[in-house]
Chain A
């Protein structure tokens, strides 16, 4: 058995020797280079584009403007398609647009023989605009006087939904209730995968091939088909190794444009490689969300009634749209079940860069608001933050009526206990009381809610194929993608156990090619180990049955009496060796009497989206005069079920914690209120955490095997990023007594907050 062992990554050798091939490494040098011309206004109309000077530049092959492309609107979200029109993603993108909706919108494209010519051509294109007023803020965008960004969306509201439990208005009439009424703000941040998005396209035998750095190859095929009005089968999408995605590449980015550009130059090879600056502005960002939470409690900390209003800044186009806010809202009534809840959320268009999926999908935003308020309530009632959580958190046995998810285990308490012990919570809470002076220490924590995959929004399904090779090894293919998280290694481990082979006998085909890879929707919603595990188990058992069937024929022993253990076929009852799988495989392929090519392929459907919970504890030191927070110690504890590979699980948690630390303290895109331009579209001015901004990152686990899962596993990809920012914020509250309701807690923000509260 290899599930549960810290196997070394199967792709590590190639990655440490530099031979792993990413998209750019595979592209032939002969490729034409495509570059996109981005708008230099924030809202308006392109009146004319003069390409005459640009066309004269040597090496320029073709210039396409917004006036040349087909007026076919398409959606970009990396969601499974819905055949029900009312559930389809909003189709609001064109390959190039004459209506500019944010500073950096795509209005023209150049194809040239080389990069220098393409860049020179971009500079030589003259654009005439008609400018409209623009709006960057959600509340302003919702006002009647705001400029309308998309017709058919009055007050710029893309989506609005609500939930209600009990009777809030009645409940708050109870005598003696204490009211907490707070607003919380989270910023626009970017994924910052180190490989920028890149793709290349060409035509072969009348079909289009697009090679792209994506998390979702099968979805890219569908959207390229929709955008170019081509039959989907005429498109082949290939996904090589990718340098990170984190949700930005769970959107269709420049694949349709690149494919289109190839078609206008006779199907020649065209490469579209995005710059870091374009990645920050013209692709996707995390939704900035403003949350308003009102909680009525009894003096003992029992929640009586709660209300949430959530405002999500969508930016200029719908992308993943309202799903993010809706997910954030959905967890509100579940995490702290309360008899009377009213919640509503709005997703609102503004003239900012487009927000899409990003690790956590609305939950990091929701957790910042929800978990910050829990500490504010605890402080107000003079209760311990742990006590008030234990009193109100989702109990064991809780069942969500929408998803039918069940909280099977006492995960929260188990995780909290581990976190407490590691960080030495009780002692430090005492030690940090009554501090004075400039440097003050604090300890804080937050829990988080998450679930695995997207059921019941769509039926989760995943397919896999296994082929028995001559040497008794198997090749395994899935539509689910390796994006750096270690999916291929986990798949290999699960496949080995499902069939009864040792790990060296499993070859995972890493690259997805929609011409040959089984259908799968890809890396998102922390779904792959869960849904992939289910199909791997099913297909593995089918393959095993076929192997044993043939073994039965060869050995004369009833196949039901046989099993495969460590590459050997043995008898079930007395564990006697019958033959090895390699012998069987070569016999089966080259038999003169009964030649069989033993393969298996199946689709598994999953109607569940298992809860995956945990917490973060942070121990910080605040330099009040410098308005700086230093993290001295931090731990995340997760219950993601059974660990498939503990070392990789830990590594996954580290990365999420790092992203959470950046979210708490330093990361944000800044927009110029006068021009609408993104001011810090680069890795120098956008403050991603560096080696120097972290202490040791501790990752621990509670392993309650998930009953709905093939290997007991559930979500871990996104959860680590969810609880970190509120834990750090609550530690700052503990240190200083100041409730900071806005992240990132930069010195600018802290200076304002500390000044207001009289600390400085």
Chain B
């Protein structure tokens, strides 16, 4: 029999609470209970990175993170990235400008990893960026334009261009 537990957390800046099946993944909770459908299911075993979200500032594959572990955590999904008045963040705009989006299914997860990278305030070489992003599988882009979008945004934030 299913067991339920109250999970209180913050999603994209908003405090929420919900009774959650203790067996549910964070992906399930975000998609089904909060309709955060940017959180995608590509494998559900932590291989593809499509369900990646930020938990207290750190990237996790939400498919292998239990919903009940989210208690007290600050969770950020792609839905939270655009400003209230509809202005895109720099990294979202860069994905558009660099043609880094194709089918778009891996896009939300990759952008959230890029956010973690950008918010570190550090500079990285291209090889380091490739390693940091390598938890995401993409079949459409060959990763080329995604890397360029992240590189350009990083350089801009660091005042290099």
A242: which of B93, B103, B106 is its contact (CB, 8 Å)? B103
Question: In the bound complex, do residue B43 and residue A244 qualify as a contact, i.e. CB atoms below 8 Å apart?
Answer: no
B142: which of A29, A192, A654 is its contact (CB, 8 Å)? A654
List A contacts of B82 (CB < 8 A): 17
List A contacts of B70 (CB < 8 A): none
A692: which of B130, B144, B146 is its contact (CB, 8 Å)? B130
List B contacts of A9 (CB < 8 A): 96, 99, 101
Counting CB contacts under 8 A, is B153 at the interface? Answer: no
Number of A-B contacts (CB under 8 A): 174
Question: In the bound complex, do residue A18 and residue B78 qualify as a contact, i.e. CB atoms below 8 Å apart?
Answer: yes
Counting CB contacts under 8 A, is A754 at the interface? Answer: no
1/0 per residue B76-117: CB within 8 Å of A?
Answer: 011101100000100011011101111111111001000000
Closest-CB distance, A280 to chain B (whole angstroms): 10
A186-221 CB contacts (< 8 Å) to partner B: 191-196
Name the residue on A nearest B111 (C-beta): A16
Query: Which of B42, B44, B133 is the most central at the interface, judged by chain A CB atoms within 10 Å of its CB?
Result: B42
Given contacts A15-B107, A655-B102, A692-B131, contact A244 B139 (CB under 8 A): yes
Question: In the bound complex, do residue A16 and residue B92 qualify as a contact, i.e. CB atoms below 8 Å apart?
Answer: yes
Query: Which of B36, B137, B139, B146 is the most central at the interface, judged by chain A CB atoms within 10 Å of its CB?
Result: B139
Given contacts A16-B107, A18-B38, contact A194 B142 (CB under 8 A): no
List A contacts of B37 (CB < 8 A): 18, 21-22, 24-25
Closest-CB distance, A701 to chain B (whole angstroms): 15
List A contacts of B147 (CB < 8 A): 691
Question: In the bound complex, do residue B143 and residue A658 qualify as a contact, i.e. CB atoms below 8 Å apart?
Answer: yes
B134: which of A11, A193, A652, A690 is its contact (CB, 8 Å)? A690
List A contacts of B142 (CB < 8 A): 654-659, 689, 694, 697
Question: In the bound complex, do residue B40 and residue A194 qualify as a contact, i.e. CB atoms below 8 Å apart?
Answer: yes
Q: In whole angstroms, how far apart are the Cα atoms of A566 and B112 in the complex?
A: 39
1/0 per residue B127-161: CB within 8 Å of A?
Answer: 00111011011111111111100000000000000
Closest-CB distance, B156 to chain A (whole angstroms): 17
List B contacts of A658 (CB < 8 A): 139, 141-143
List A contacts of B138 (CB < 8 A): 194
List B contacts of A697 (CB < 8 A): 142, 144
Q: In whole angstroms, how far apart are the Cα atoms of A6 and B97 in the complex?
A: 10
Closest-CB distance, A724 to chain B (whole angstroms): 10
Query: Which of A6, A275, A654, A656 is the most central at the interface, judged by chain B CB atoms within 10 Å of its CB?
Result: A654
List A contacts of B79 (CB < 8 A): 17-19
Counting CB contacts under 8 A, is A484 at the interface? Answer: yes
Name the residue on A nearest B133 (C-beta): A691
1/0 per residue A513-538: CB within 8 Å of B?
Answer: 00000000000000000000000000
Closest-CB distance, A657 to chain B (whole angstroms): 6
Question: In the bound complex, do residue B42 and residue A484 qualify as a contact, i.e. CB atoms below 8 Å apart?
Answer: no
List B contacts of A689 (CB < 8 A): 142
B5-55 CB contacts (< 8 Å) to partner A: 23, 31-32, 36-38, 40-45, 47-48, 50
* Main SS at interface, chain A: loop
List A contacts of B45 (CB < 8 A): 276, 682, 684
Question: In the bound complex, do residue A688 and residue B139 qualify as a contact, i.e. CB atoms below 8 Å apart?
Answer: yes
Given contacts A16-B96, A17-B78, A692-B134, contact A24 B101 (CB under 8 A): no
Q: In whole angstroms, how far apart are the Cα atoms of A474 and B31 in the complex?
A: 35
Question: In the bound complex, do residue A12 and residue B95 qualify as a contact, i.e. CB atoms below 8 Å apart?
Answer: yes
Tell me how many residues of A have a C-beta within 8 Å of chain B: 59
Counting CB contacts under 8 A, is A577 at the interface? Answer: no
Question: In the bound complex, do residue A246 and residue B77 qualify as a contact, i.e. CB atoms below 8 Å apart?
Answer: no
B139: which of A8, A12, A246, A657 is its contact (CB, 8 Å)? A246
Query: Which of B31, B100, B101 is the most central at the interface, judged by chain A CB atoms within 10 Å of its CB?
Result: B101
Counting CB contacts under 8 A, is A167 at the interface? Answer: no
Given contacts A17-B88, A276-B42, contact A484 B103 (CB under 8 A): yes
Question: In the bound complex, do residue B77 and residue A18 qualify as a contact, i.e. CB atoms below 8 Å apart?
Answer: yes
Question: In the bound complex, do residue B40 and residue A195 qualify as a contact, i.e. CB atoms below 8 Å apart?
Answer: yes
Name the residue on A nearest B110 (C-beta): A691
Counting CB contacts under 8 A, is A737 at the interface? Answer: no
1/0 per residue A343-356: CB within 8 Å of B?
Answer: 00000000000000
Name the residue on B nearest A696 (C-beta): B144
Closest-CB distance, A342 to chain B (whole angstroms): 38
Q: In whole angstroms, how far apart are the Cα atoms of A39 and B40 in the complex?
A: 28
Question: In the bound complex, do residue B139 and residue A191 qualify as a contact, i.e. CB atoms below 8 Å apart?
Answer: yes
Q: In whole angstroms, how far apart are the Cα atoms of A658 and B142 in the complex?
A: 5
Question: In the bound complex, do residue B43 and residue A682 qualify as a contact, i.e. CB atoms below 8 Å apart?
Answer: yes
Closest-CB distance, B78 to chain A (whole angstroms): 4
Closest-CB distance, B101 to chain A (whole angstroms): 5
Q: In whole angstroms, how far apart are the Cα atoms of A25 and B31 in the complex?
A: 8
List B contacts of A11 (CB < 8 A): 101, 104
Given contacts A116-B23, A196-B42, contact A651 B47 (CB under 8 A): no
Question: In the bound complex, do residue A194 and residue B105 qualify as a contact, i.e. CB atoms below 8 Å apart?
Answer: yes
Closest-CB distance, A365 to chain B (whole angstroms): 19
List B contacts of A648 (CB < 8 A): 99
Question: In the bound complex, do residue A8 and residue B96 qualify as a contact, i.e. CB atoms below 8 Å apart?
Answer: yes
Given contacts A655-B140, A688-B139, A690-B137, contact A485 B102 (CB under 8 A): yes
List B contacts of A692 (CB < 8 A): 130-131, 134
List B contacts of A19 (CB < 8 A): 38, 79
Question: In the bound complex, do residue A241 and residue B104 qualify as a contact, i.e. CB atoms below 8 Å apart?
Answer: yes
Given contacts A16-B88, A683-B43, contact A650 B99 (CB under 8 A): yes
Question: In the bound complex, do residue B47 and residue A244 qualify as a contact, i.e. CB atoms below 8 Å apart?
Answer: no
Name the residue on B nearest A6 (C-beta): B99
Name the residue on A nearest B42 (C-beta): A194
1/0 per residue A668-695: CB within 8 Å of B?
Answer: 0000000000000011100011111010
List A contacts of B108 (CB < 8 A): 18
Q: In whole angstroms, how far apart are the Cα atoms of A276 and B77 in the complex?
A: 23
Closest-CB distance, B134 to chain A (whole angstroms): 4
Question: In the bound complex, do residue A276 and residue B44 qualify as a contact, i.e. CB atoms below 8 Å apart?
Answer: yes
Question: In the bound complex, do residue B78 and residue A243 qualify as a contact, i.e. CB atoms below 8 Å apart?
Answer: no
Counting CB contacts under 8 A, is A73 at the interface? Answer: no
Name the residue on B nearest A246 (C-beta): B139
Counting CB contacts under 8 A, is A509 at the interface? Answer: no
List B contacts of A650 (CB < 8 A): 99
Q: In whole angstroms, how far apart are the Cα atoms of A277 and B108 in the complex?
A: 23
Question: In the bound complex, do residue B139 and residue A193 qualify as a contact, i.e. CB atoms below 8 Å apart?
Answer: yes
Question: In the bound complex, do residue B104 and residue A20 qualify as a contact, i.e. CB atoms below 8 Å apart?
Answer: yes
Name the residue on B nearest A21 (C-beta): B37
Question: In the bound complex, do residue B103 and residue A654 qualify as a contact, i.e. CB atoms below 8 Å apart?
Answer: no
B104: which of A15, A246, A647, A651 is its contact (CB, 8 Å)? A15
List A contacts of B139 (CB < 8 A): 191-194, 244, 246, 655, 658-659, 688
Name the residue on A nearest B35 (C-beta): A25
Name the residue on B nearest A116 (C-beta): B23
Counting CB contacts under 8 A, is A267 at the interface? Answer: no
List B contacts of A590 (CB < 8 A): none
Question: In the bound complex, do residue B144 and residue A684 qualify as a contact, i.e. CB atoms below 8 Å apart?
Answer: no
Name the residue on B nearest A12 (C-beta): B96
Question: In the bound complex, do residue A195 and residue B105 qualify as a contact, i.e. CB atoms below 8 Å apart?
Answer: yes
Counting CB contacts under 8 A, is A492 at the interface? Answer: no
Q: In whole angstroms, how far apart are the Cα atoms of A21 and B140 in the complex?
A: 18
Question: In the bound complex, do residue B144 and residue A244 qualify as a contact, i.e. CB atoms below 8 Å apart?
Answer: no
Closest-CB distance, A127 to chain B (whole angstroms): 25
List B contacts of A694 (CB < 8 A): 142-144
Question: In the bound complex, do residue A654 and residue B47 qualify as a contact, i.e. CB atoms below 8 Å apart?
Answer: no
Question: In the bound complex, do residue A243 and residue B40 qualify as a contact, i.e. CB atoms below 8 Å apart?
Answer: yes
B47: which of A29, A276, A691 is its contact (CB, 8 Å)? A276
Closest-CB distance, A11 to chain B (whole angstroms): 7
Task: Pull 19 A–B residue pairs with CB atoms less than 8 Å apart, ordered by A.
Answer: A9-B99, A12-B95, A16-B88, A16-B95, A16-B111, A18-B77, A18-B79, A20-B104, A25-B37, A241-B103, A244-B103, A648-B99, A654-B145, A683-B48, A691-B129, A691-B133, A692-B130, A692-B131, A694-B142
A-B contacts besides A18-B37, A243-B105, 8 pairs, CB < 8 Å: A9-B96, A9-B101, A15-B107, A483-B103, A651-B102, A655-B102, A682-B47, A683-B48
**Residues of chain B at the chain A interface (Cβ within 8 Å):** 2, 23, 31-32, 36-38, 40-45, 47-48, 50, 77-79, 81-82, 88, 92-93, 95-97, 99-108, 111, 129-131, 133-134, 136-147
Chain A to chain B: the 4 pairs with minimum beta-carbon distance, closest first: A18-B38, A484-B103, A243-B105, A15-B104
